[in-house]
């Protein structure tokens, strides 16, 4: 991959999503850039679904270099990219785009960002068995990275056929199946937006189990409060946001920031 960077101009980066006004990515990447003395311009882009490809073309043709991609565009970004990484292929999702001489590269850093946050928090999992709530795009990213990290992954989803399809697509990476409550787990990951707490009573928790909501802020509150009845440790997805952003920043610049210095 041959990157296209003009050292005489600010590196033009951004985040694309809809809605996007709430995004913490501009503050995050400015802090990353400051660690290395890199001059960046980081903006927010909010296209419609129909206008996504046109807006992407305009962005990259007018000097844009890299983009973070958030909901609801991660599958459209997968189709837009002309080159995709293996983890984006496995995840069927792209959350990072970068302009190269070979074309627009698409990568998925959500899953590796999640696993890196688990390691950053120094969490210990004796059995490495995880339950993943949901079977959407971000769930597939998380399942892929958990499998590569040596976890056994079990799925709970409102539509069982969708969860089974995801398990079948990822079984080449490791043990993944629909959840049955005879399996005790030490990690429960929520990837759905609401009412995830309804699934908690059907899960068999190890005594040291961790609950992790991929959402952060108020969106994570309901699930994490409910999980206190079942687990001793609860975390929201802010650490994952930081770690996946650091992976994207490394992809763009070849420099990997110290995530422990970030304040959001």
**CATH code of 78's domain:** 3.40.50.10860
The reply to whether 157 and 222 lie within a common domain is yes
**pLDDT exceeds cutoff 70 at 58:** yes
The reply to whether 190 and 212 lie within a common domain is yes
**pLDDT exceeds cutoff 60 at 190:** yes
Q: Would 231 be classed as within a structural domain? A: yes
**pLDDT exceeds cutoff 90 at 5:** no
Q: 9 falls in which pLDDT band (50, 70, 90)?
A: confident
The reply to whether 89 and 132 lie within a common domain is no
Mean pLDDT to the nearest integer, 198-215: 96
The reply to whether 127 and 226 lie within a common domain is yes
Q: For position 152, which CATH number holds?
A: 3.40.50.720
The reply to whether 93 and 157 lie within a common domain is no
By percentage, how much of the chain surpasses pLDDT 90? 93
Total number of domains constituting the chain: 2
Q: Would 76 be classed as within a structural domain? A: yes
**pLDDT exceeds cutoff 60 at 69:** yes
Q: Would 155 be classed as within a structural domain? A: yes
Phi, psi of 10, deg, nearest 5: -60, 140
Q: Mean pLDDT of all residues in the chain?
A: 95
Contact indicator for 252, 11 with CB cutoff of 8 Å: yes
The reply to whether 98 and 134 lie within a common domain is no
Residue 228 has what DSSP assignment?
T
The reply to whether 32 and 66 lie within a common domain is yes
pLDDT number for residue 194: 87
Instruction: Identify the active-site residue in 9, 44, 50, 74.
Output: 74
Domain span holding position 50:
11-111+241-261
**pLDDT exceeds cutoff 70 at 2:** no
The reply to whether 128 and 231 lie within a common domain is yes
pLDDT number for residue 97: 98
The reply to whether 72 and 162 lie within a common domain is no
The reply to whether 196 and 256 lie within a common domain is no
Residue with tokens 């080159």: 83
Contacts of residue 68, defined as CB under 8 A and 6 or more positions apart, other chains included, come to 13, 14, 15, 16, 25, 29, 95, 96, 245, 248
Q: Would 133 be classed as within a structural domain? A: yes
Beta strands in the chain (DSSP E): 11-16, 40-45, 66-69, 83-84, 96-100, 103-107, 129-133, 152-156, 176-178, 184-190, 204-213, 233-235
The reply to whether 200 and 250 lie within a common domain is no
Q: Would 198 be classed as within a structural domain? A: yes
Q: 193 falls in which pLDDT band (50, 70, 90)?
A: confident
Does the annotation mark 74 as catalytic? yes
- Closest by CA to 252, choosing from 40, 43, 65, is 65
User: How many CA atoms does the CB half-sphere of 196 hold within 13 Å?
Assistant: 28
Q: Would 3 be classed as within a structural domain? A: no
Contact indicator for 199, 181 with CB cutoff of 8 Å: no
pLDDT number for residue 137: 87
The reply to whether 246 and 232 lie within a common domain is no
Q: Would 103 be classed as within a structural domain? A: yes
Q: Would 106 be classed as within a structural domain? A: yes
């Amino acid at each position: 991959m041959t990157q296209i960077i003009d050292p005489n101009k600010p590196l033009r980066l951004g985040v694309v999503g809809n809605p996007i006004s709430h995004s913490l990515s501009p503050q995050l990447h400015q802090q990353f850039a400051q660690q290395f003395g890199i001059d960046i311009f980081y903006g927010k882009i909010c296209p419609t679904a129909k206008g996504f490809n046109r807006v992407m073309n305009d962005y990259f043709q007018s000097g844009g270099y890299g983009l973070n991609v958030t909901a609801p565009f991660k599958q459209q970004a997968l189709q837009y990219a002309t080159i995709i990484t293996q983890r984006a292929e496995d995840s069927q999702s792209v959350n990072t785009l970068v302009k190269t001489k070979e074309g627009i590269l698409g990568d998925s850093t959500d899953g590796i960002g999640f696993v890196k946050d688990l390691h950053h928090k120094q969490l210990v999992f004796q059995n490495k068995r995880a339950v993943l709530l949901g079977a959407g795009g971000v769930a597939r990213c998380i399942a892929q990275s958990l499998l590569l990290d040596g976890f056994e992954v079990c799925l709970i989803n409102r539509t069982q056929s969708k969860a089974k399809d995801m398990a079948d697509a990822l079984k080449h990476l490791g043990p993944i199946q629909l959840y049955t409550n005879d399996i005790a787990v030490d990690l429960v990951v929520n990837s759905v937006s609401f009412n995830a707490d309804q699934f908690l009573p059907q899960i068999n928790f190890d005594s040291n189990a961790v609950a992790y909501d991929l959402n952060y802020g108020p969106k994570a509150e309901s699930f994490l409060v409910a999980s206190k009845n079942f687990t001793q440790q609860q975390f929201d997805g802010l650490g994952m946001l930081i770690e996946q952003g650091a992976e994207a920043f490394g992809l763009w610049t070849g420099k990997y920031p110290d995530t422990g210095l970030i304040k959001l």
